[in-house]
Amino acid sequence: MDKNQSAGLLFEIGQPGRRCHAIAEASGVDAAAMIPGRFLAESPPPLPELSELDIVRHFTNLSTLNMAIDCNFYPLGSCTMKYNPKRHERLVGSHRFAEQHPLQPDSTCQGTLGVLHEMERMLAEIAGLDACSLQPSAGAQGELTSLLVAAAWFRHRGVARSKVLIPDSAHGTNPASAALAGFQAVGVKSTAEGLVDMEDFAAKLDDDVAVFMITNPNTLGLFEPNIRRIADMVHARGGLVYLDGANMNAILGIARPGDFGADMMHFNVHKTFTGPHGAGGPGSGPIAVRAMLEPFLPMPRILAGSDGTFGLDENRPLSIGRVRSFHGNIGVILRGYFYIRTLGAEGLANVSRHAVLNARYLRSLLAGLIEIPGPDNGLHEFVASARNLRREKRVSAMDIAKRLLDHGFHSPTIYFPLVVPEALMMEPTETESPETLEAFAKALGTILAEDPEILRQAPHSLPISRPDEVKATKEPVLRWKAD
Identify whether residues 97 and 219 lie together within a single domain. Answer: yes
Check if the beta carbon of residue 362 is closer than 8 Å to that of residue 426: yes
Which parts of 216-286 are beta strand (E)? Answer: 240-245, 264-267
Q: How many residues does the chain have?
A: 483
Identify whether residues 165 and 314 lie together within a single domain. Answer: yes
Q: How many domains does the chain have?
A: 3
Identify whether residues 143 and 273 lie together within a single domain. Answer: yes
Domain that holds residue 22: 3-63
pLDDT value of residue 463 = 82
Residue 218, domain member (yes or no): yes
Check if the beta carbon of residue 422 is closer than 8 Å to that of residue 475: no
- Final residue belonging to a domain, choices 342, 361, 396: 342
C-alpha span between 230 and 235 (Å, rounded): 9
Residue 82, domain member (yes or no): no
DSSP state of 267: E
User: Residue 132: how many CB atoms within 10 A of its CB?
Assistant: 27
- Final residue belonging to a domain, choices 311, 342, 373: 342
Residue 68, domain member (yes or no): no
- Of 140, 144, 118, whose CA–CA distance to 334 is shortest? 118
Residue 207, domain member (yes or no): yes
Partners of 164 in beta bridges: 185, 211
Identify whether residues 161 and 292 lie together within a single domain. Answer: yes
- The set of residues, in sequence order, having a beta carbon less than 8 Å from that of 298 and lying 6+ positions away, is 133, 135, 136, 145, 319, 320, 321, 322, 323, 324
3-state secondary structure of 2: coil
Identify whether residues 56 and 199 lie together within a single domain. Answer: no
Residue 301, domain member (yes or no): yes
pLDDT value of residue 173 = 93
Residue 480, domain member (yes or no): no
CATH number at residue 142: 3.40.640.10
Identify whether residues 337 and 365 lie together within a single domain. Answer: no
pLDDT value of residue 279 = 61
Residue 285, domain member (yes or no): yes
Residue 313 CA from chain centroid, whole number: 29
pLDDT value of residue 280 = 57
Give the CA diameter of the chain.
82
User: Residue 55: how many CB atoms within 10 A of its CB?
Assistant: 17
Backbone angles phi, psi at 188, to 5 degrees: -115, 130
DSSP state of 411: P
| Residue ranges, the chain, pLDDT below 70 | 1-7, 22-29, 31-32, 278-281, 479-483
Residue 175: cis peptide before it, omega within 30 degrees of 0? no
Buried b (16+ CB within 10 A) or exposed e, 363-387: bebbeebbbbbbeeebbbbbbbbbb
Identify whether residues 99 and 186 lie together within a single domain. Answer: yes
User: Residue 255: how many CB atoms within 10 A of its CB?
Assistant: 17
3-state secondary structure of 284: coil
C-alpha span between 117 and 305 (Å, rounded): 11
pTM of the model: 0.89
- The set of residues, in sequence order, having a beta carbon less than 8 Å from that of 307 and lying 6+ positions away, is none
Identify whether residues 352 and 368 lie together within a single domain. Answer: yes
Identify whether residues 309 and 189 lie together within a single domain. Answer: yes
**CA angle at residue 125 from 354 to 115, to 5 degrees?**
95
pLDDT value of residue 1 = 42
The pLDDT tens digits for 391-447 are 999 999 999 999 999 999 999 999 999 899 999 999 999 999 999 999 999 999 999
Identify whether residues 108 and 245 lie together within a single domain. Answer: yes
Segment 124-128 long-range contacts (CB within 8 Å, at least 24 positions apart) = 124/288, 126/248, 126/252, 126/253, 126/256, 126/267, 126/340, 126/348, 127/245, 127/256, 127/257, 127/258, 127/262, 127/265, 127/267, 127/288, 128/256, 128/257, 128/258, 128/259, 128/262
User: Residue 5: how many CB atoms within 10 A of its CB?
Assistant: 15
Identify whether residues 135 and 222 lie together within a single domain. Answer: yes
- Final residue belonging to a domain, choices 342, 375, 399: 342
Identify whether residues 244 and 96 lie together within a single domain. Answer: yes
Check if the beta carbon of residue 143 is closer than 8 Å to that of residue 177: yes
C-alpha span between 278 and 275 (Å, rounded): 10
Query: CA Rg, the chain, in Å?
Result: 26
Residue 76, domain member (yes or no): no
